[in-house]
Structure 1
Amino acid sequence: MAAAIALSRRGRPASAPNPNVGCILVQPAPAKAGGRVVARGWTQPGGRPHAEAMALAAAGDAARGATAYVSLEPCAHASARGPACSDLLIAAGIARAVIAARDPDPRTDGAGIARLRAAGVEVVEELLPAEARAAMAPWWTRHAWGRPFVTLKLATSLDGCIAMADGSSRWITGERARAHAHLERAMHQAILVGRGTLDADAPGLDVRLPGLEDRSPAKWLLTRGKAPAGWTAISSPEAIDGVDSLLVEGGAGAAAAFLAADRVDRLLLYRAPMLIGGGRAALGDIGLADLAEAHGRWRLADSRLLGSDQLDVYERVRRD
């Protein structure tokens, strides 16, 4: 299942507005633990084919009697763009389905599982559901909250500066950290900076990783004024619409605006082993009135070294 969830990330963000799903078909191996992978699939650009349809097409007759590991409940509703995946799995003759998470879409929610069981398919539910939801976070956030999933990226010195006092900031982090940031760009539909960052740095905001150049996100500008050609002006964090995922890259004012509006779901904190002293702070005022309000809002989800730089990934803790 972990492999199917990892596979699902290949479809993000191109599968939007559909969820990015991964599917692996495994034939049992006689007298052995595990089995033999016969096909893999993930949701394709624009949402079709679905992961299950892609895997079944690749497997052909080898799907009969196989186990399908799927990161989201197979859909139960047919559309003009294709048949229901639960029906496709049944027609292919799979023997078992292992599903990470139920589909919250009311057209499927439990119906796909019920249809599989009614056809005699053994179903195992809720295997690594949190991991599956995290891999589909943009789509899941849109369904649960009716808004995009927002990632805030901060690249700072050890003392929390994003630039020298004169505004120069190239480069605080090293090559590996910057490459990771480009991979994050490729995982989002849109990327946003504030007017100050646009005027000071004239950022391209494209993806410059070999093989992913076509995954550059749409460029958005947080401003009350007009945006240059090729950019979209966004007046406030609450005004964002039309995408499932947004990466906020800078600067301090834009970062503070999204935090103050409580619109940040994930924080990428890249820290370089340097001290600047007297530089420009990573954040402006975020409206914090009491220090007690700052506790318990963030959970460390990942931590790793990228060359000499430290990356810490935090997720917003939401209880309602």
Structure 2
Amino acid sequence: MGEEKKVEAEAAANRRTADCSSPLAFSVRRCTLQSVNYAILVLLGCLFFETVHATDQKDSDAWLTNKVSFPRDIDTRLVRPADFESLHAQEISGRLLFFWEPKHLDTNANVSILTSVGPADHHAVRDWREYRMNLSGARWQARVPVDDIDIPIIYFVRTVYQGVTNVSPMRICHPRAMGLEAPTRPFWPFLEGFEQDPRGWSLIPQPGESEVLQKDGIAKSGYSSLRISLPVGKHSATVATTRVQGWQIQQNQATGIRLWLRTKSGTGRARFTLYENAFTTNQVVAVYPVESELNDQWHLVDLRFEVFPKLSLGAIDWFTVEFIGTGPTEFLIDDLQFIGPWKTETE
């Protein structure tokens, strides 16, 4: 009996060995190993994806480390990196929002975010827009409209509390990389109506003159226009704006600029100039060949880009109007807009 059991045990062992070496058993073992390997690869892939995703998110909204130029009314000595570490942009439900959670919350502070759309290296001349930030819980937030998801947005925060102003360093965000799939507002050709503070406009003063721009209650539409004063003994005054941007011209196929001009009394004339890459070594200046005669009635001026000499539309970033007359004379400007393949108001 002992020998029989020994023989049966050896036979059973041989059968198990044969089963394990059969094609089916080998296939099962191979599938098991493949499943394990696949699971490992999936895990590694997930980890890699999360790392890349985190890197993409980081790159889509970051501190601007190359050369920057703040608006002229910002004292760069007030820029404080400390306490602005939490400043960031975020895409939420198809909108672009900006958040800042200070370490020490002052609920009575006046907080605003200033944004400029355009390439980061286009720092010499930028068109800045200011939006009020509202308090939500322990952080300040603002919603900023996006006209083109492929154009970067440069931004920084300014806070004023009890007469003390602090300014954050600049950041840059890329709307598409942040997850925004479409612009957040439709195109509107109207650029400026002077109903709010005329940020983006400046007077080019002559030596010894002050740079002062004021609004006026006489308007072509709305409640106010921009007034440019020609003092006694002077024969010209030039106002400049960053509102006309090349990326907008190209994106929307604009064919020119429309604006309304007049004097408050008397007569004068206006000369128009567009700049490409203003204040750089690549600057190009194009003067419109026709001047506009002005009096005390509103005068419609259409400036076609094709009439300006040697213009590269995508690089336009500065527009000036020189008012010429005999001082004292006051000139008014209102309702700046693009003209193009759309219907606009003409009267």
Give me the TM-score of the superposition, normalised by structure 1.
0.27
Report which of the two has the higher share of strand. Answer: 2
Structure that is richer in helix per residue: 1
| Larger Cα-atom Rg | 2
Structure 2 length normalisation: TM-score? 0.26
